[in-house]
Amino acid sequence: MRPLRAIAHYFRNTDLYLLLLTLCCSAYSLVLVNSATANSILHDRYLTVQAAAIGIGVVAFILMSLVDLESLKRYWRILLVINIAVQLSLAFVGDSHGGNRSWIDLGFVSVQPGEIGRIVFIITFAAHLMLVYEEINRWQTLIGLGVHAGLLFGAIVAAQHDAGVALSYLFIAIVMIFAAGISYKWVLGGVVVGLSSIPFIWQALSGNRLARILVLLDPSIDNLYPDKDYYYQTAQSKIAIGAGQLTGSGYMQGLQTQYDKVPANHTDFIFTVAGEEFGFLGAMLVLVLLALLILRLFYVSYRAGSTFSALMTVGIAGMFLFQTFENIFMCLGMFPVIGLTLPLFSYGGSSVVTMYAALGVAAGVRMREKPSWLQR
């Protein structure tokens, strides 16, 4: 009876709202992936891998929720060095997918260290912030935090050429620094510096990255690169979403989806399947589920029993927020295509398991929260 009591105790204390929302996203994901891959010879494999990733993800959720990460914060420098080394190693052992060396092929499965490394980064950055919490508005502190985030950003861009994942690290860092109580004068200064640096960044962009941005403003630019089709995915994605109108074309009835007009519609462009086959209502369901999940994460952060736990949960919320907005805006033709999946919805073992593990960290924070008069 002890195992049953232990299980009952766990589910009485864990964040069931977070787990339920996550499982709802995964159930919808299986529906969308099934339709997106219906005409592929690998259809059964896609479904099996996605279902297995969800199963492993649930286990990762439970295990991560039981680990008290407070004990790891003293080792954050070691974890940071290991994370940087792993990201840099892909320059030598990485497997190329779509031009990015972001994967390690283990034979039976491919793993994306950049995805997994974000959880490690959130832990190390939260620990770093805790160390300098009382001096957050000193310029020396901000430089140190910038170096911390910049090292991971540089490692991923240099070794993996994966701008999408690298940018997510920077966004997570910005959200966590903001949550740590940075002064608005530094925020304003950062905005000014960011805007001022745009011309220099623009000049530094390579032909491919620059074309992906310019084509959003003027689709005719795509004609200058007939062998690249920079705008093809975006154009087909917008057609698919627009075709869905209010209620959609019907499950497994979408022409763009079933005739594979949208490349990668089971991974980066899974949102188009919801938009075409379930219409505005189906697309809104995706948004509502992810919005509730992100709001729940911010709530858990607000109720956290320590500043370290609160900052970790804010970082996880920032990860979901950036990836959700970037992916959906990419599908709508408002952001360039940079290859970020839609959290919990897109096909992909590494992505799904990482998201579940990150949410497990947040669930663990919720389980160990203290009454408000004991916080901080």
- pLDDT tens digits, one per residue of 16-62: 899 999 999 999 999 999 999 998 899 999 999 999 999 999 999 99
Residue 155 lies in a domain: yes
Q: Give CA–CA dist 357/57, Å, rounded.
A: 7
Burial class of residue 208 in the structure, from the number of CB atoms within 10 Å of its CB (0-12 exposed, 13-18 middle, 19+ buried):
exposed
At position 185, the amino acid (one-letter code) is K
| Residue 375 belongs to some domain of the structure | no
In a domain, residue 336? The reply is yes
What is the enclosing helix (H) or strand (E) of 100? Answer: strand 100-105
In this structure, how many other beta carbons lie within 10 angstroms of the beta carbon of residue 91? 13
Spatial distance between the Cα atoms of 68 and 360, rounded to a whole number of angstroms = 11
Query: Residue 25 corresponds to which amino acid?
Result: C
Question: Is 359 a domain residue?
Answer: yes
Q: What is the pTM of this model?
A: 0.92
CA distance 36 to 265: 6
Q: What is the pLDDT of residues 144-172, one digit of tens each?
A: 999 999 999 999 988 888 888 899 999 99
Separation of alpha carbons 360 and 357, rounded Å: 5
Q: Which three-class secondary structure state does DSSP give residue 239? A: helix
As for how many domains the chain has, the answer is 1
What local confidence, expressed as pLDDT, does residue 264 receive?
Answer: 87
- Could you tell me the pLDDT band of residue 228, with boundaries at 50, 70 and 90? low
Helix axes 307-331, 270-302, angle to 10 degrees: 160
Residue 264 covered by a domain: yes
Q: DSSP states of 37-99 as a string?
A: TTTSTTHHHHHHHHHHHHHHHHHHHHHHHHS-GGGGGGGHHHHHHHHHHHHHHHHHHPEEETT
For residue 364, give its domain range: 15-370
Is 6 within a domain?
no
9 lies in a domain? no
Tell me if 68 is assigned to some domain. Answer: yes
